[in-house]
A and B are shown apart, each in its own frame.
Chain A
Amino acid sequence: MIRNKNMKRASLVSAVIATGAMVLSTLPAQAATPGVTASEIKLGISSPLTGSAGLSYGKVPGAMKAYFNYINANGGVYGRKITLISRDDKYLPTLAATQTTNLVLKDNVFALVGALGTATHSKAYKAAALAKNNVPDLFINTGYSGFTDKTKYPTTFMVLPTYAMEAKVIAKAIKDNFPGQATFLVAQDDEFGSDGVAGFTTAGHKFSAAPILYPQGSMTAARAESALTALGATPGKPVVVLFGTTDVTATILKAAEKLALTTKFTWYAGSVGADANTLLALGVKPATIDGVISASFMPDAKDMTDPYVKQFADINAKYNKGVTFDNYVLAAMNSAMLTVQALRAAGKNLTRAGVISAIENKGAKFASAGLVPLGYSPTSRIGYNGYWVSQLNAKGEGKPYGGKLVIYSTDSGAGAVEVSNFVRPTMPKNGIPTNS
C-alpha cells in the first residue's frame, strides 16, 4: 500500500490489517489500490492443498508461485514483484468462502487467481463480495458455464472452456469415430454434469440409456462395479463417457479392472477426469489407461517438443524443486503467464478496473500454451473455446487421437463444432511476457 502524508486513512487501514483485525474503512474509499505498492503486487489463491482434492490440485499454487518467482527474478511486472498468497480451502464451499474473504480482507490482495471449483467459487465469490469490491477474479479453474454471466460475475475470467463446449466436442468425436456403438454417460450430478448433459443434448447426441448421475463424493467401488456390470451386458464395444473428476475416473477404471471389463468399453474421460499421473497414483494400471480417450485444450505435459511445455518444465525444475512436472503444473504456470500479461496490459498505473479492462480488450491475443483460441472480449469472459481429442498411452502421455492433431472450436450454445486453424501465439522469449 502506498503511503504518503495525504493518505492517513489508507495508512490507518493498513495498520489495522497489520494487527490481524479485518477492518476496512467505513468512510470514503481509500485512494490506493489494495494489494499494490511501488514494489509489490499481492495476489491470492484459494484452492485445495489438503483433503481428497489436494492430491490432484495441491500443486497449483506452488506452480504459480514458481512462475511468478521466475518473473520476479527477471524484473517483475514493471518493477513490481508478484507475491502469491495461498490459502487451503480443501475444495469445500464454506471454507472457500472463508478463505477468499480472508484473502480480500485480511491479506488485502489486489486480485484472485486460479480459484478452483464451481460450488466452492460460486459461494466464495458472493461471500467475499468480489463484485462489490471489484476484485479481479482471474483465470478460474472451472468450466461451469454459469461463470460466463458477466452480470453475476462481473470481475471473473474463466480459463477453462465450458463443460458444455467439451461435451459438444466429445459428441462430435463419438459421432465421427464410433458410429453405431452404444454410448453411456457417467456424470457428476451437479452443475458440472448438467452442463455436460446440456452440451450433449445441444449437440444432438443421444446416449443409449439415461445418464448415470452421482453426487460429488459418492462414487464408491461398489457403485461403480454395479453400474459397469449392468453396462457390460451391452453388445459390441460401447463408449462410456466419464464426466467427473479424476478420482472418480480412477474408481470406475479400477472397478473395470476388477470385473475384467477394461477392454469391453471404449473409455472417454472428460478433461477434468483424465490426468494420467493422478490415475496411476490412484492405482489404475498403465494397461488400463492405455487407450483412454480424452479432450484437452493444452499440450500434454510430457511433450517436451512443445516450446511452452519445455520452458515451463525448465522453470519448474529451477523454481519448484522436487515437484514433478505434470498437467496441473503446466496449467498453473500457463495461468500464471496469463496473469503476468494481464498485469502488464493494465499498465504501470495498476488498478483493478484496469486489469479487467485489459483482459477484455487484449486478452484474446495473450500468449499461452493453449492449443485453442482464447475467447476474451468486452462481452465474453470465456477462456479457451475449444478442444483437441487426445488418447493416453500406457506411459500416461496424451497423443492426438488418430495420430493427427485436430483443433475443434465451438461455443457453449447451439453453435457448430468446427475444425479450427488457430495458430498459437509464439511463446515470449524465455517465457517472459513483454506485452503492454
Chain B
Amino acid sequence: MKNLKLTKGLVALSTAALIAAFTVAVPTVARAADDCQETTILYGIKVVDIEKCTGTDANKSKYEIIMPAKFNGTLMVYSHGIRYNVNLPAIPVVAPKGSLIDYSPAVSPSEEVTAALLAQGFAVAGAGVQTQGWNLEEGVEAALQVITIARDKYSKISKVVTWGNSLGGLTSQALAEQYSGAVDAAAPMCIADSAQAEITMAGDFLWGMKQFFNPAIKGSNYSAGQAGYVEMLTDLGTVLTTLQALQAAIAANPTAPAWPATSTVPAALKAIPVRSAILLLGLISGIPTQSNTYDASSGPVGPLETSFGLVISPALAVLENGAQAAILAVIANYDMEVRYGGVVFDNSKTDYAKRLGDDADVYAAGLTGKSGIAGMLGYLSPLNPAAPRVTANAAAVAKMNSVYQLQGKIEVPTIAISATADHITPAGALQYLKNQYEASVENKAAKSGKLLTIWNKPADEYTTFSAAGSPVTPTSATNGTGHCNYTTSQILAVAKLAAAAAKSGKLPSNTAVKAAIKNEPNLFVDPNFAPALLKFRQ
C-alpha cells in the first residue's frame, strides 16, 4: 500500500546529520536595473513574439512583466503561493534535493498557462516577494508595485486582473478589496483563509499527532535563533518518521492497524485501530477525507469492498493529506513564530468534540463507534495532563492578526475557484469569503453580483486497486484533490472569465460560464453549495 512516498533513508535522519548536511546560504537579492528583451515563446507550434522585462521593485522584490506583441489590452498580475522562508537540506517528501528560499518572480501558475495567455494576447506579470513565508502584506505591496511599473511602462494596458494561488489568492483578494481602483477584476484560486485560520488547521493536526503518536514532536514554541531552526528541522524528521510508521502499520493490517511504537497513549486506547485516530485528527482539524489516492467510496473486490470505503479509505485519505499538512504546519508554524515573535497556535480552549460535530455520526464506523470517539476525545481532553494544550503568545497573535483581514467588500468582478478536497486551503476558505461578501451585500457595504464561485470536485469514484486488492496511487494527481491542483484548461477558464469580467465590469453571463467550463466535468457552479468553513471559523 503506497500512499506516502517516504524513503527509508529518512529513518536515519538525525539532527546532527541535518546540520552537517546543510550550510546556510544567505540569499542574494539582485538590484539589477530594469531589463527588457524582445524574444519569442512557443505555444504549441505557435511562435509568440513578446517583450520580457525584469527588475526589482522598491522593496527589492524581483518582478517580471511579459508583454506580447499582439496585446489585447489586459494585464494579468499573478501572486504566487506560500514558499518556505527557510533553506532546507535534502529531506524526503519535503525537499528531496534540498531547497533554498525561492525569490524568483512568478507570472502565472505554470509555464504552460503563461504561454497560453501570451498566445491569446494577455500580458502577464508577477513578483517574487522579497519576504517569503506568510507574506500577505508584502505580497500585496509587490503586486501593486508590479501594476504600477507595468502601467508606467505600457500605457496601452487598459485592464488589470489580479489573480493568484493559495496565499497568492488571498493576496490578490486583499489587494482587490483594499485597492479596488487598481484592478478591474480578481481571480483568487484555492484562496487561503487567514493566517490564524490556516495555522489552526495545521496546528490541530500536528498537535494531535504529537499526543496520539509521538510526543517527541515539538510542534510549537521553537527556540530563538539557530537552535529553533534545528528544532524545526528535527521536527520535520520526527513527523515524517511517525507518518512512515503509521503508513507501515496500515499496510500491514488495514482493518486493525497497530499504533506506532512511539505512541504513549494508554493500552485501552490502543485497542482502537490506529486508523480511527488518524481519521479523528483529520476530522477535528478539517483535513479532507478524500485525497489523491483515496476517494472514501471505492473498495477492492472481495470482503473489503464496502468496508474499505466506509472505514479505511477516509483514514488513509487523511493520512495522505495530513502528511503534507503536518509538514507545512511545522515549517509555517516555525516561520510565523519567528515572524510574529512567539507561539501563534493556540488550542487552550478548543472543544474538539464540538469540532467533530456531525462527523461523529457520519464517520462513526470509521471512528470505531461512539465508544471509540469518546475514548479518543477523552484522551485529547484539556483535563488530561498527558495531553497538554498549547497557549499562544497573545502579542504574537495580535501581531499576526494585525494584517489585513478579508472583509468581503468586493467592488470588482471576482471569479474564485476552490477544490472540495484541497487539504491545504480547503474549500471552506472560499466559502468564508462568500459569506463575508454576502454579509457585506446585506449591509449595503458591497453591491450584489460581484462574486462567482466555481467549485472543483474529484470524480465520483476514482480509487483504483491492483489485482491483489491494494490501492494504486495515480501517476498524475487526481483533479479536485491536492493543493491548487487545477488543470491548465481549468486555470485558463478562470483567467478568461476574469479577463472578460474586467472588460465588462460585470460577472460573466451564464452563457459565458457555460462556454468556459463545458469541457470541465469536475467544475460546477451552484450558488447554494456551501462547503464547511475551516474549523477556526466554526
Partner-B contacts on A (CB < 8 A): 9, 12-13, 15-16, 19-27, 51-53, 90-95, 98-99, 101-102, 105, 118-119, 122-123, 126, 129, 132-133, 144, 146, 188-191, 193-194, 213-218
Contact = CB atoms under 8 A, between A and B. Distances in A.
A317 to B, nearest CB: 31
B227 interface: no
20 contacts: A12-B510, A16-B510, A16-B514, A16-B518, A22-B525, A23-B514, A23-B517, A26-B513, A27-B509, A51-B306, A95-B309, A118-B361, A129-B530, A133-B528, A146-B361, A190-B364, A190-B365, A190-B369, A191-B364, A216-B365
A218 B273 CA distance: 12
A133 B529 CA distance: 9
Interface of B: 289-290, 295-297, 299, 305-307, 309-311, 314, 358, 361-365, 367-372, 449, 452, 457, 460-461, 507, 509-511, 513-514, 517-518, 520-521, 523-530
A23 B510 contact: yes
A215 B365 contact: yes
B529 A129 contact: yes
A13 B510 contact: yes
Contacts of A21: 514, 517-518, 520-521, 523-524
B161 to A, nearest CB: 19
A235 B296 CA distance: 45
A331 B22 CA distance: 69
A90 B304 CA distance: 13
A20 B362 contact: no
Contacts of A90: 297, 306, 309
Contacts of A26: 452, 507, 510, 513, 525, 527
A90 B298 CA distance: 9
A101 B297 CA distance: 15
B370 A190 contact: yes
B305 A213 contact: no
Given A20-B521, A119-B361, A215-B372, 9 more contacts: A12-B511, A16-B514, A92-B306, A93-B310, A119-B365, A144-B361, A146-B361, A188-B369, A217-B365
Nearest to B529: A129
B289 A94 contact: yes
Contacts of B305: 51-52
Q: Which 7 A-B pairs have the closest CB atoms?
A: A189-B369, A22-B524, A190-B364, A215-B369, A94-B296, A132-B528, A216-B365
Contact of B296 (A27, A92, A146, A194): A92
B370 A189 contact: yes
Nearest to B297: A95
Given A19-B518, A21-B521, A213-B370, A95 B358 contact: no
A74 to B, nearest CB: 35
Nearest to A9: B510
Contacts of A213: 369-371
Nearest to B513: A23
B478 to A, nearest CB: 14
Contacts of A52: 305-307
Given A21-B517, A123-B362, A92 B530 contact: no
The residue among A23, A99, A214 with the most chain B CB atoms within 10 A of its own CB is A23
B389 to A, nearest CB: 28
A126 B289 CA distance: 16
B525 A214 contact: no
Contacts of A9: 510
Contacts of B314: 94
Nearest to A29: B527
B297 A92 contact: yes
